[in-house]
Chains A and B, each alone.
Chain A
Amino acid sequence: MEEPFVKTEIRKDENIVYKRTDLLVDRPLSYCPGCGHGVVHRMLMETLEEMDIQDKTIGVSPVGCSVLAYDFMNIDMLGAAHGRAPALATAIKRLWPNKFVFTYQGDGDLAAIGTAETIHACNRGENFTIIFINNGIYGMTGGQMAPTTLPGMRSSTSPYGRDVQTMGHPLKITELIANLPGVYYVTRQAVHTPSHVRKTKKAIRKAFEQQKENKGIAFIEVVSNCNSGWKMTPVQSNKWMEENMFPFYPLGDIKLDGKLIQKSEIAK
Chain B
Amino acid sequence: MGELRLMKGNEAVAEAAIRAGCDGYFGYPITPQSEVMEYLMAEKPHERTGMVVLQAESETASINMLYGAAGTGKMVMTSSSSPGISLMQEGISYMAGAELPAVIVNVVRGGPGLGTIQPSQADYFQAVKGGGHGDYKLVVLAPASVQEMCDHVKLGFDLAFKYRNPVMILSDGAIGQMMEKVVLFDPIPRRSEEDLIKQNPWAATGKPKSREHIIITSLDLDPAGQERVNLKLQAKYKKIEENEILYETLGCEDAEFIFVAFGLSARICQKSMDLARAKGIKIGLFRPITLFPFPVKAIHDLGKKVKGMLVVEMNAGQMIEDVKLSVGCSIKIEHYGRFGGIIPTPDEVVKALETQIIGG
Tell me if chain B binds chain A: yes
User: Given A54-B207, A81-B91, A90–B216 Cβ distance below 8 Å?
Assistant: no
Which of A56, A57, A68, A95: most chain B CB closer than 10 A? Answer: A95
Task: Name the CB-closest residue of A to B56.
Answer: A87
**Chain A contacts of B91 at CB under 8 A?**
81, 84
Surface stretch bound by A, among B62-70, B110-118, B247-255: B62-70
- Mark contacts of B202-235 with chain A using CB atoms, 8 A cut-off: 1 yes-contact digit, 0 otherwise: 0011111100011111110000000000000000
User: Given A55-B208, A67-B219, A76–B64 Cβ distance below 8 Å?
Assistant: no
Partner of B54, one of A68, A90, A92: A90
- Whether B213 lies near A77 (C-beta < 8 A) is yes
Partner of A76, one of B58, B62, B204: B204
- Whether A88 lies near B217 (C-beta < 8 A) is no
**Chain A contacts of B94 at CB under 8 A?**
81
- Mark contacts of A58-99 with chain B using CB atoms, 8 A cut-off: 1 yes-contact digit, 0 otherwise: 101000000110110111111111001001111110111001
User: Given A88-B65, A91-B26, A95-B72, A78–B213 Cβ distance below 8 Å?
Assistant: no
**Chain B contacts of A54 at CB under 8 A?**
206-207, 209
Partner of A80, one of B54, B67, B74, B209: B67
- Whether B61 lies near A87 (C-beta < 8 A) is yes
CA A68 to CA B222, docked complex, whole Å: 13
- Say whether B76 faces chain A, with CB atoms less than 8 Å apart: yes
- Whether B90 lies near A87 (C-beta < 8 A) is no
- Whether B68 lies near A88 (C-beta < 8 A) is yes
**Chain A contacts of B68 at CB under 8 A?**
60, 78, 80, 87-92
- Whether A76 lies near B205 (C-beta < 8 A) is yes
Partner of B206, one of A25, A58, A78, A87: A58
**Chain B contacts of A74 at CB under 8 A?**
207, 213
- Say whether B52 faces chain A, with CB atoms less than 8 Å apart: yes
- Whether A92 lies near B69 (C-beta < 8 A) is yes
Chain B contact residues, majority secondary structure: mixed
Partner of B66, one of A91, A116, A120: A91
**Chain B contacts of A253 at CB under 8 A?**
none
- Say whether B24 faces chain A, with CB atoms less than 8 Å apart: yes
CA A55 to CA B205, docked complex, whole Å: 8
- Whether B214 lies near A55 (C-beta < 8 A) is no
Partner of B207, one of A68, A76, A96: A76
- Whether B64 lies near A58 (C-beta < 8 A) is no
Task: Name the CB-closest residue of B to A101.
Answer: B68
> How close is A26's CB to chain B, nearest CB, in angstroms?
13
User: Given A58-B204, A91-B69, A116-B57, A79–B24 Cβ distance below 8 Å?
Assistant: no
- Say whether B60 faces chain A, with CB atoms less than 8 Å apart: yes
Which positions 61-116 of chain B face chain A at CB distance < 8 Å? 61-62, 64-69, 71-72, 74, 76, 90-91, 94, 98
- Say whether A242 faces chain B, with CB atoms less than 8 Å apart: no
- Whether B60 lies near A116 (C-beta < 8 A) is yes
- Whether B71 lies near A94 (C-beta < 8 A) is no
User: Given A81-B94, A88-B68, A58–B205 Cβ distance below 8 Å?
Assistant: yes
CA A80 to CA B61, docked complex, whole Å: 11
- Say whether B151 faces chain A, with CB atoms less than 8 Å apart: no
- Say whether B23 faces chain A, with CB atoms less than 8 Å apart: yes
- Whether A94 lies near B204 (C-beta < 8 A) is no
Task: Name the CB-closest residue of A to B52.
Answer: A94
CA A60 to CA B98, docked complex, whole Å: 14
**Chain B contacts of A89 at CB under 8 A?**
68
Partner of A95, one of B23, B58, B208, B219: B23
Which positions 16-73 of chain A face chain B at CB distance < 8 Å? 25, 54-58, 60, 67-68, 70-71, 73
CA A129 to CA B68, docked complex, whole Å: 15
> How close is A238's CB to chain B, nearest CB, in angstroms?
29
**Chain B contacts of A117 at CB under 8 A?**
57, 60-61, 64
**Chain B contacts of A81 at CB under 8 A?**
64, 67, 90-91, 94
- Mark contacts of B167-210 with chain A using CB atoms, 8 A cut-off: 1 yes-contact digit, 0 otherwise: 00000000000000000000000000100000000001111110
**Chain B contacts of A56 at CB under 8 A?**
206
> How close is A103's CB to chain B, nearest CB, in angstroms?
10
User: Given A79-B218, A87-B68, A116-B60, A95–B207 Cβ distance below 8 Å?
Assistant: no
CA A120 to CA B54, docked complex, whole Å: 12
- Whether A116 lies near B54 (C-beta < 8 A) is no
> How close is A39's CB to chain B, nearest CB, in angstroms?
21
Task: Name the CB-closest residue of A to B23.
Answer: A95
- Whether A71 lies near B215 (C-beta < 8 A) is yes
Which of A56, A58, A75, A87: most chain B CB closer than 10 A? Answer: A87
Which positions 19-66 of chain B face chain A at CB distance < 8 Å? 23-24, 26, 52, 54, 56-58, 60-62, 64-66
Partner of B209, one of A55, A60, A70, A77: A55
- Whether A88 lies near B206 (C-beta < 8 A) is no
CA A99 to CA B64, docked complex, whole Å: 19
> How close is A32's CB to chain B, nearest CB, in angstroms?
17
**Chain B contacts of A90 at CB under 8 A?**
54, 61, 65, 68
11 contacts between A and B (CB under 8 A): A58-B204, A70-B213, A75-B213, A77-B216, A78-B72, A79-B217, A87-B64, A88-B65, A94-B24, A117-B57, A117-B60
Taking Cβ atoms with an 8 Å cutoff, the residues of A that contact B are 25, 54-58, 60, 67-68, 70-71, 73-81, 84, 87-92, 94-96, 99, 116-117, 120
Taking Cβ atoms with an 8 Å cutoff, the residues of B that contact A are 23-24, 26, 52, 54, 56-58, 60-62, 64-69, 71-72, 74, 76, 90-91, 94, 98, 193, 204-209, 213-219
Given A58-B205, A90-B68, 17 new contacts (CB under 8 A): A25-B213, A54-B206, A58-B204, A70-B215, A71-B215, A74-B213, A76-B207, A77-B216, A79-B218, A79-B219, A80-B68, A81-B64, A90-B54, A95-B23, A95-B52, A96-B206, A99-B206
